[in-house]
Amino acid sequence: MSFITPPTEIAQVRRRRILIVGKSGARKTTAILTSPKPVAVISYPGELGWDTIPDNDPDVYKRVWSEDTGKGIRADKVIKAIEEEALGIIASGKCKSLWLEGLHHFTSLCLDDVTDGAYLRGDEFEPKQYGLAYRMVFDHIARLSNTMTPVVGWTCWAELKAERSKRPGEKADDIPKKVLPALPGQLPHQIRGRFSVMLYQALHIRKAKDGSAVKNERGEIVRDALWQVRDTGDILCSGLKGPAAVVEKIPTLIPADYQAFERAWDKASQGS
């Protein structure tokens, strides 16, 4: 074993390892269907966004967990089934994109596994067991990322989380809060390094040229799903890895569409 300089095609594939973070209803599932087809979508147990995925599209392969994980099913067996399903799709070579929906649900399974069920029961457990669960999540991401599937991505809920621990005499409401992935403990911060593309997705009011809100025929305000590619303000769950000269030229907000992302990257790469 030795170190090598990775060839260009591997670097190209790695920048398509994606995490999309957004609140429920931000149209994350709709966005992932814009990635190269055929596309496979695995909904982690507990994830309910799969109703958005079409049933009869030959270019979309939808996989949904069929059992209730709360009825005595061991977390380790569920995790094993998830990985077998995902690696089987990758090994088939039939899909250009693989998405796994609801990383927060998978993380809960890992915590439940390392705590022998205490986590989902609401029982106390040793804080050091968080680290074991984090490692399981990281290994899972690495196993699926270190493949030749062109696009591998995950979605995760977003939530307001305390920026730091509470200080003596301080109230919880006094602690500044930021928008982070809805993951436990320090995982929202540590997971950033696992993806080359991390996007925050939210709905933004569409504006007319005069700055007014655009409305549809029913008089309702039109909102567009946008991807934020770098952190600003309270958003701490976005960022791109790549040559600085390229990344800094990509607009902070782009349409929540994979092809729009590729166009923005290519335009930045060409220096235009």
Which pLDDT tens digit goes with each residue over 132-151? 999 999 999 999 999 999 99
Q: Which among 48, 173, 31, 26 has a CA at the least distance from the CA of 104?
A: 48
Q: What value does the mean pLDDT take over residues 8-35? A: 85
Tell me, rounded to whole angstroms, the distance of Cα 91 from its chain centroid. 22
Q: Which helix (H) or strand (E) holds 179?
A: strand 177-181
Q: Which among 236, 202, 230, 239 has a CA at the least distance from the CA of 22?
A: 202
What is the DSSP secondary-structure string of 103-161? HHHHHHHHHHHHTTTHHHHT----TTHHHHHHHHHHHHHHHHHSSS-SEEEEEEEEEEE
Q: Which among 32, 26, 193 has a CA at the least distance from the CA of 97?
A: 32
Q: Which among 244, 252, 231 has a CA at the least distance from the CA of 271?
A: 244
**Model confidence at 224, in pLDDT bands (50, 70, 90)?**
very high
Residue 190 CB burial class (10 angstroms; 0-12, 13-18, ≥19): middle
Q: Does the predicted model carry a pTM greater than 0.85?
A: yes
Which pLDDT value is given to residue 149?
Answer: 94
State what percent of residues in the chain have pLDDT above 70. Answer: 92
Q: What value does the mean pLDDT take over residues 171-179? A: 85
In the numeric block, which tokens belong to residue 226?
């946008």
